[in-house]
Every structure is written in structure tokens, then in C-alpha cells.
Structure 1
Amino acid sequence: MSKLRHMAEMPLPLFVADPADQDVQIVPAIPQGARLPSYIKDHRKRLRARFNDGGADAMPDYELLELVLFRAIPRQDVKPIARALIDAFGDFNRVLSAPAARLSEVKGIGEAVITELKIIEAATHRMARARVIQRPVLSSWDSLLDYCHTIMAHRDTEQFRVLFLDRKNTLIEDEAQGTGTVDHVPVYPREIMKRALELNASAIILVHNHPSGDPTPSPEDIAMTKQVEQAARALSLTLHDHLIIGKSREISFRAEGLL
């Protein structure tokens, strides 16, 4: 971490963003021991009150980010940093799911902020997973779709996951089988089948995301699904579905007649 970036979260005077770089001006931190200006103190109090009264729905994304940043950067006006994050990544969800390396490129973002964001991301994933793991998948399909969108819809690279089900179609395991580039992830049917046998699974569901946001299956997606289906059939396993997750919707191979 550069010295400049590290100082962004220390209680010492900070840099001011170069106007030639971007419009966002990073306000210096208040030295330790000095009183917080009323405009910062009162602003934080108002935002917390609005959240307590109306919840997240009452707040735009950048204000929700401010609430997160309050903990990581306790002695600084964080509104410019929150706006810079939204400008860089688009929305709150994409900020949370952004890789640490890309987050660190935003002025004012250091290790404490990245850790705070990643803790929240991990918490949302764990909560979503708790709603589907060890539960019958076919009777909690909406929860399963919510889970897949939570963990995959805002990734900027493709990820391929396999959901392993038992004889009662209860989800017994969810595993990432691979991560690739913005438009490709390698898939190995033999490894999927090997893992299914290790888990004593009876059925599987394939899931991967399209970082472009468009879940329309490619010819390669269709061909790969056929390969996995053939391998599963040879081992008396059922391929229930292949879900492609886009930013705001998903495609089901089963519903589209592709399985």
C-alpha cells in the first residue's frame, strides 16, 4: 500500500485530490484530539437517524456507503469518497463486490475501508446462503435465485458454481468450480462428476454469471451444458438446470427448453 493511500485513514492531514485527476475533492482528516466540526458531526447524526427511521430504502447508494465509511474513517468527511466509489463502480452492490485491487485505486480508499466493505460483502453472502443450504431447492427456488444474484450478479469476472443436491433435492453443498475472465471460465465436466460422487449427490444445478449483465447463453454455454448433461447421465445423476446470472435477471436452461 502506498504511503499516500495509507495516510488516507490516519488521523493526520490528508492529500487533496488533484483537480486534474477528477472532480472529487478529498477533504483532509481532522487531527486526533481535535473536535470534529459540527458539519461533519451533525451530518453523521442525521444520516444515522434517517437510516434508523426509514432503513436503507430511504437512502441513495452513496449515503448508505457513507454509513459504512463512518466506521473505517472516523475523522473525515466521507461523502466525497462515497461519491467517488459510486462513480467508479456504479452502485452499492458493485462497490461491495469490487476486487480489493480496484477499490484501492480510488483516492481515499485504504486497507481499513477495503476490510469494512469486504466484511459486509461476506456477511450478505453468508446470510443469503443460510436461506438455501440444507433446504429443498425446488420448493425454495426464489431464495435460491436471490442467493445466486447476491453472490454473482455484480462480479466483474465470470464464475462457475455447482449446487449439489441429495436424493430429496436438498442443497448439500455449493462450490465455486472456477473463475475466469470477463467472458470465459473453464469448466471441466470430469471434475464436476468426481466431486458429485465424493458428496454422494444425486443431482446438480450449474450456475455461472455474465459480467456484461446480459444472461443470454452463448453457443459455448449451450455446448458445455450438453457435455455436463451427458456426463451426469452416464453416472445416473440428474442435471436439474443451468442458471446464467445477469445483473438484473437470470436465464434458466430448463425454462428455455435448452435442457
Structure 2
Amino acid sequence: MPEDVEKPHHLGHRQRLRDRFMAGGAEPMPDYELLELLLTHAIPRRDVKPIAKDLIARFGNFAGVISADPKSLAESKFIGDNAVVLIKLVREAALRLAKQDVINRPILSSWDRLLDYCQAAMAYGDTEQFRLLFLDRKNVLIADEVQQKGTVDHTPVYPREVVKRALELGASAIIMVHNHPSGDTTPSRADIEMTRMVRDALKPVGIALHDHLIVGRGRHTSFKSEGLL
């Protein structure tokens, strides 16, 4: 570019963002700046600050953006396939890192990390999802599987399928996890009844139901802690 042609102002801003990130990491940066820096790699020729701020306003925070459904992301102006792929790639990378902290490790010594993983994996979903965590006799997490996906307020769970899968994996115990898209993690009557049905189906084959967790954005409820198991 000739020296007498003024460069777009956002180019200097991008470099300043990169320099700040490299010097101090992401911690001091607000969510919209972190997202802005991410978008610079997918949208090279546009000021991405307004786009980042719009996405944060729509989805709440950085975690909400990277956890958003691809179709919802694509509805935002100027967000194309490259940006959607990059955003979802960041989420998948974060989930794999979080899962690595809990898989093949004793649950009791990594409970907080497990909660963080469940939050990252499920709290921002817009439909209910039912996940099973399978443990061996030493309470080591040996498998993590999504069993069912449902609607905004209901997920069908079949106790016989839960028992069958636990036996296939040789599990000694399980933890059930599901999300409430509303954010209210208070167990419903249906949640309580379903949990007890699964617990009762597991007992005859010697498999324990350690807990049932309901996760929402920034919160969770433990059936065990609430005396519901």
C-alpha cells in the first residue's frame, strides 16, 4: 500500500489487540475484545468491533457466543461460514481441554473440574440434553456419553437403555447430567421421578447412581446434595 494512502483505522487497532493479548493474555480483556480478536482471523477486511459487540449483546458473553447454534450465529450480519467455523472450533477445543481434565481421573478429586466441564458442554444449549458419566469401581470416569436430546423443556430417558449401556461398559456407578435451557436448575417433578426410576433400575445389577446434576448458565443443582437421592 502506498505511504500516502491512509490505512483503515481498524488495522492498527487489530495490531494493538494482538500486542495486548501477547503481553498480558486474555484475562484483562473484556469478552467483546477477546471475540473481536478471534474474528479478525475470519473477517480480514472489516472493522469487527461492532460485530463482536452485537454478538455479545445477543448471546450474553463470550461463552454464550462460542456455544451458540451455528444457524443463530449465521443470522448475525457479516458473519459468514469462516467465522462460524472458527467460533465453533474454539468451543470444541475448549471442551476437549476441559474433558481431558476429568476423563480417566477419580471424580471425587476433580469434582470442581467436572462441574466446569458439564457447564461448558451443556449449560448454553437451547434444548435439553441428557448425558451419562460412567465410573469404574474406583470412581474413575471411564466414559462420557450423550444419551438423548430433547426439546426446550423435556428429554426422554429410558432406564433400561441406561442400564444396558452401563453394563456394556462395565461401569460400577454413573452420574446423570442434564441441562435446563431456562437457566433455572430447580428439579421438576418429572426430573425427580425419572431419577428414581433410573436408580431403581440400576440397583438389581449392582450399579450405583452417585448423583444427578442439572446445569444452567453459571449454576447447578445436585440431587445428592439436595437429599433427592
* TM-score, length-scaled by structure 1: 0.84
Tell me the distance in 2 between the aligned counterparts of 1:213 and 1:53. Answer: 36
Report the aligned-residue RMSD: 1.2
Counterpart check, 1:100 vs 2:70: yes
Q: Which residue of 2 aligns with 1:239?
A: 209
**1:117 maps to which of 70, 87, 91:** 87
Deviations 1:22-68 (A, max 9, x none): xxxxxxxxxxxxx8824111100111122222222211111111111
Q: Which residue of 1 aligns with 2:224?
A: 254
Which amino acid in the other structure matches residue 39 of structure 1?
Answer: H
**2:100 maps to which of 130, 146, 170:** 130
Deviations 1:129-171 (A, max 9, x none): 0000001112211111111111111111111100001111110
Q: Counterparts in 2 of 1:137-216, with a 5 A limit? A: 137-216=107-186
Tell me the distance in 1 between the aligned counterparts of 2:167 and 2:179. Answer: 25
Greater mean alpha carbon deviation, residues 185-194 or residues 127-136: 185-194
- Give the count of matched residue pairs: 225
Which amino acid in the other structure matches residue 231 of structure 1?
Answer: A
Q: What residue ranges of structure 2 are gaps of 5+ in the alignment?
A: none
Q: CA deviation at 1:184?
A: 1.1
**2:46 maps to which of 76, 86, 111:** 76
Q: What residue ranges of structure 1 are gaps of 5+ in the alignment?
A: 1-34
Deviations 1:63-111 (A, max 9, x none): 1111110110112111111112112211111111111111111111110
Tell me the distance in 1 between the aligned counterparts of 2:127 and 2:63. Answer: 15
Tell me the distance in 2 between the aligned counterparts of 1:152 and 1:170. Answer: 21
Q: Which residue of 2 aligns with 1:65?
A: 35
2:52 match: secondary structure: helix
1:205 match: secondary structure: strand
Q: Which residue of 2 aligns with 1:46?
A: 16
Which amino acid in the other structure matches residue 118 of structure 1?
Answer: K
Q: Which residue of 2 aligns with 1:5?
A: none
Q: CA deviation at 1:249?
A: 1.4
Tell me the distance in 2 between the aligned counterparts of 1:48 and 1:80. Answer: 18
* TM-score, length-scaled by structure 2: 0.95
Deviations 1:209-244 (A, max 9, x none): 111111111111100000000001121100000001
In structure 2, relative to structure 1, the CA distance for the partners of 1:255 and 1:36 (3 Å cut) is farther
